[in-house]
Structure 1
C-alpha cells in the first residue's frame, strides 16, 4: 500500500490537476505543498481534518520528519509539487530518505508550465518538416549546467526549446541562443505565471527576448518557448499526414 504520493499540481490553475491527483489530495491525512509555487486553491480540496502544510519555509529534513511521522501514525501523505515532479521537481532526494525508512511512495504526473504555456499561446512545439524535437533546459545559475548542455550548444540543433528557471537573466538566454546560431527572427513566447490569475503571455522574436522581458517586468516565474519556423513569415504549407486521405494505416484502409 502506497504511503506517500508525489503529486504534480500543474502550473497553478486548480483545474489542471489530474483527476487522480485531486482524488489523492482529498484522501490524504497530510497535504504538504510547495506554497512558493503552488497556490492554496490547488489543495483546497483536502478533506476536513487533514493537516495542510506549506513547505516553502521548511528544509528537506523538516519535511521528511513531518511525512515520516504521519506515516508512522498510519496516515497517507500527498506531497504536492508544482508542474510535473519529473522536471526540476527535487523528488530524488526526498525519495532517498523515504527508501531509507522503507516508506512506499509513488509519483502522479502533472502538467508542466511549458505545455500550459504552449496551450495558452495556442502554439505547438512540433511542426511538420520544420522540427520534431523539443528540448527542456535552463541557464546555469546556483545549479550548474554541464558545458555540453549550455543553451548555446543546444541551440545548434534548431529544435524547439522550453527554457525554465532563467528569467533572472533574459539577456543571457538571448545571447546564448543567438551564439548557437538560432535566427534572430525566431518566434519566442514569454509566459509569466502561466495558469495563475495574473498570467501574461507575450510573443516576441529572439533578438528582442531580453527587451520584451524587461518591458513586462518578467524577472521570475517565466518560461521562454523558443519556436523555430513559427514566426509571422515562416509558416509553410507542410501538414501532418495523420488526417491526409492518402495516408493509410491500420484504421484507414
Structure 2
C-alpha cells in the first residue's frame, strides 16, 4: 500500500493527525527532499528506510515502491504542502494502478494557506475579490498558452504564484500586462511557517526590486491583489444582523 501524504507548508505541527500516524507506521518513506522539512522525518519508525525523491526519477521511485511492496511494507510518499498542487502525483497514481498497487491520499495544508496565515490575509474579501488564481510563470517547463500569466492577470483576482520567485522581473512584467497596476499590493513569502520564514510586502511595481533586495530566489510564494491592501472591503453578510440566513433571522 502506498500512502500519499501532504506534509504541510513546513512547520512539523502543521502535519495532519492522519499524516503523522501514517508516517509513524511507515515501512518505507519517499519524501520530496527539496521542499519537505526534514524535521518531519524524525517521526519515522526506527530503521525505516528513507529516500529523497529530489535525487530520483519517477522510474526509481516506482522501483523503490515495488521493492517495499514485495517485502510487505507500506510506503509513505511524503509531498510538500498538499500534493494536489504541483505535486506530480497523478502520474504516480496511474502507474500504481497499472501495477496493481493500492494507494490512498491524505491531504495537507498547502503553502498558499500558510502564506496567507503569515500575512494575516483573506483571499476572498467581500467587495474586493471572490476568486483565487493559483498559477505559475512559464519557465523551463511550459504552461498552456491560454494560461499565460498575463492572461491570468487580466482577471485582477487574488493570485498566488508558485515556482516563480526566481523570475521576479519577468513576473512583474507579465502581471502589469493584466489588470494589476504598479500600485497593486503584493507580497513575497519565503518558507511560510518555517523558522526561517521571511515576509516582504511590496507592490507589483516594486516586486522585482524588493525580491532582489531580500535575496529571495526560490522556496517562496508571490501573492498579488487588492486583498492585501488596507481596508476597502465590505462587511460579510454571514454575520450581518440585517441579513437572514438558514440559522438566524435578521434582527434589524
TM over 0.5: yes
Give the structure 2 partner of residue 127 of structure 1.
125
Could you say what secondary structure the match of 1:44 adopts? helix
Give the structure 1 partner of residue 215 of structure 2.
217
Question: Partners in 1 of 2:227 and 2:188 — Cα distance?
Answer: 17
1:106 to 96, 104, 108: 104
- 1:145 aligned onto 2:143: yes
More helix by share: 2
2:180 and 2:225 in contact (8 A); partners too: no
Could you say what secondary structure the match of 1:93 adopts? helix
Please report how far the alpha carbon of residue 242 of structure 1 lies from its aligned counterpart in structure 2 after TM superposition: 0.8
Please report how far the alpha carbon of residue 39 of structure 1 lies from its aligned counterpart in structure 2 after TM superposition: 1.9
- With normalisation by structure 2, the TM-score equals 0.95
Give the structure 2 partner of residue 95 of structure 1.
93
Give the structure 2 partner of residue 38 of structure 1.
36
Please report how far the alpha carbon of residue 102 of structure 1 lies from its aligned counterpart in structure 2 after TM superposition: 0.3
1:185 and 1:231 in contact (8 A); partners too: no
Question: Partners in 1 of 2:238 and 2:41 — Cα distance?
Answer: 39
Please report how far the alpha carbon of residue 227 of structure 1 lies from its aligned counterpart in structure 2 after TM superposition: 2.0
Give the structure 1 partner of residue 189 of structure 2.
191
Q: 4+ residue stretches of structure 1 with deviation over 3 A?
A: none
1:188 and 1:224 in contact (8 A); partners too: yes
2:121 and 2:227 in contact (8 A); partners too: no
1:242 to 238, 244, 249: 238
Give the structure 2 partner of residue 75 of structure 1.
73
Could you say what secondary structure the match of 2:24 adopts? helix
Could you say what secondary structure the match of 1:50 adopts? coil
**Is 242-251 or 209-218 further displaced after alignment?**
242-251
Give the structure 2 partner of residue 27 of structure 1.
25
- 1:251 aligned onto 2:247: yes
Please report how far the alpha carbon of residue 229 of structure 1 lies from its aligned counterpart in structure 2 after TM superposition: 4.9
Please report how far the alpha carbon of residue 170 of structure 1 lies from its aligned counterpart in structure 2 after TM superposition: 0.2
Structure 1 alignment gaps of length 5 or more: none
Structure 2 alignment gaps of length 5 or more: none
Question: Partners in 2 of 1:51 and 1:195 — Cα distance?
Answer: 27
Please report how far the alpha carbon of residue 43 of structure 1 lies from its aligned counterpart in structure 2 after TM superposition: 2.1
What does the per-residue CA deviation read over 1:192-230, in whole Å, with 9 as the maximum and x for residues that have no partner? 111222110111111000001000011111110112254
**Is 129-138 or 69-78 further displaced after alignment?**
69-78
Tell me the C-alpha RMSD between the 2 structures. 1.2
Give the structure 2 partner of residue 201 of structure 1.
199
Question: Partners in 2 of 1:237 and 1:187 — Cα distance?
Answer: 14
Please report how far the alpha carbon of residue 144 of structure 1 lies from its aligned counterpart in structure 2 after TM superposition: 0.5
Question: Partners in 2 of 1:196 and 1:45 — Cα distance?
Answer: 17
